[in-house]
């Protein structure tokens, strides 16, 4: 296989999860004598398990399309948009790690707007830390 356009080879975690799910569904419909090699099955299982624990598990194609449209005005690179979709930053600190030279490219207000757009469109459905931790009533 030859990659003709490298930019077309980039997938979001959501897209990778969809591809794995579709492949799994196709594999279930195949005859038992046509099973995939065990190492491929293990790799797919591990990748699917990992991705289901990531923000992409609760994303939709509509959210991703809307986010790309909203972020177009900020002239982010394809890689930066991909990382924003995959990592779903919740704070400015997380955005600093994703966007190269963010402090030089954007004002504080614009950076705040970026975080607000991401939080508004890519809704966080995971439990908060206080909900996930059990509280022990004894001292």
Q: Are residues 51 and 76 in the same domain?
A: no
> In Å, what is the CA distance from 20 to each residue of 56, 124, 129?
13, 23, 29
For the domain that residue 81 is a member of, what is the CATH number? 1.20.1250.40
Q: Are residues 53 and 64 in the same domain?
A: no
- Position 3 in a domain: no
Q: What is the pTM of this model?
A: 0.75
Is the separation of the CB atoms in 103 and 94 below 8 Å? no
Is the separation of the CB atoms in 121 and 63 below 8 Å? yes
Instruction: Going residue by residue through the chain, which has 139 residues, state the pLDDT in tens, using 9 for 90 and above.
Output: 354 555 567 889 999 999 889 888 877 777 656 677 788 888 889 999 999 999 988 899 999 999 999 999 999 999 999 999 999 999 999 999 999 999 999 999 999 999 999 999 988 665 344 333 344 444 4
């Amino acid at each position: 296989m030859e990659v003709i356009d490298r930019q077309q080879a980039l997938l979001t975690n959501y897209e990778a999860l969809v591809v794995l799910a579709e492949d799994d569904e196709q594999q279930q419909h195949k005859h038992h004598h046509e099973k995939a090699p065990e190492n491929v099955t293990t790799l797919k299982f591990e990748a699917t398990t990992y991705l289901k624990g990531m923000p992409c598990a609760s994303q939709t194609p509509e959210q991703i399309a809307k986010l790309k449209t909203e972020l177009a005005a900020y002239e982010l690179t394809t890689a930066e948009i991909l990382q924003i979709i995959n990592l779903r930053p919740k704070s400015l600190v997380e955005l600093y790690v994703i966007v190269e030279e963010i402090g030089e490219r954007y004002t504080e207000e614009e950076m705040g707007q970026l975080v607000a757009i991401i939080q508004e469109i890519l809704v966080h459905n995971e439990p908060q830390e206080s909900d996930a931790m059990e509280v022990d009533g004894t001292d």
